[in-house]
Amino acid sequence: MKLTKEQLEEFEKEGYLFFPSLFSKEEINRVRDAVADLYAEDRPEIFREKDGVTPRTGFASHTYSEMFARLGRHPRMVTPVEQILGEDVYMHQYKVNGKKAFDGDVWQWHQDFGTWHRDDGMPEPRAMNIAVFLDEVNEFNGPLYIIPESHREGVVEAGHDLSTTSYPLWTLDNNKVKELVDQGGIVAPKGPPGSMLVFHGCLVHGSPPNMTPWDRVIVYLSLCAVSNHITKFNRPEYIAHRDFTPVQKLSDDCLLNDDVSGLPWPTEKTAS
């Protein structure tokens, strides 16, 4: 999947691109069927909400789930990032974020590159997120809020919030968020399962709690240019990966073709 010149210009200006219904219902159903087994795992990669029960995030699922390994090597997800960054990419982080019905908690306003830079020693903002909706995302069930053009600010000052949710985050103060919103507004990409979002590592974003009876699960790949790999190993490897091997893409039908295997994920360490 190649981005057009117009799409590349839009990404540079706004900091994100949105593709409704990029994956078929059949493809997404195959992936969604793997979510329950993933969240049932009793392992450190599965973070839960403050109640200790409700799943919040499944980290590094590409290393132990066949279906999520396939998705993490899907060309529709990887190729646009390679095109924007102009080189091979490795998997810096892989998350299955589940904002469960009634119990899904807030994600505060933050920049992902701010965390990658401060905690992981990622040199430059040559990394970004690409996300796929596994459920319908609507205005009620905790959609992702993004502030267009906020990536142009570079790394914004942030404080380390260790108390609001079960997952620590470098968050922006309210005055800075208001300043950025006054300039760029807020958008919340919404769409059916199979929609895909690409956004810059410095784009400011967050999401509200889910008070509805509808789950909202989104898969996030954080892909980084191989030449820009992290230099600090402060966080667990399942959160900030230390395998800088370029992602080896599978065929476009990899979610439906059971002759295609996503595992084993490459394990060779190309840098340290």
- Rounded distance, CA 185 to CA 167, Å? 27
Architecture in CATH of 5-228? Sandwich (2.60)
Instruction: Report, as an integer, the average pLDDT of 139-149.
Output: 95
How, if at all, do strands 196-200 and 169-171 pair? unpaired
pLDDT surpassing 80 at residue 168: no
pLDDT surpassing 90 at residue 265: no
Cα 208 from chain centroid (whole Å):
16
| 232 touches 250 (CB < 8 A) | no
Q: Calculate what percentage of the chain has a pLDDT beyond 70.
A: 94
Tell me, what's the pLDDT at 164? 63
pTM (2 decimals)?
Answer: 0.92
3-state secondary structure of 195: coil
Domain boundaries, the chain: 5-228
Tell me, what's the pLDDT at 167? 62
Find all residues with CB under 8 Å of 186, minimum gap 6, and list them: 145, 146, 147
Q: Which residue has the higher pLDDT, 195 or 1?
A: 195
The tens digit of pLDDT for each residue in 71-126 reads: 999 999 999 999 999 999 999 999 999 888 998 888 889 999 999 999 999 999 99
Q: What is the 3-class SS of 216-271, one letter each residue?
A: EEEEEEEEEEHHHCCCCCCCCCCCCCCCCCCCCCCCCCCCCCCCCCCCCCCCCCCC
Instruction: Give residue 99's identity as a one-letter amino acid code.
Output: K
Instruction: Report, as an integer, the average pLDDT of 145-152.
Output: 96
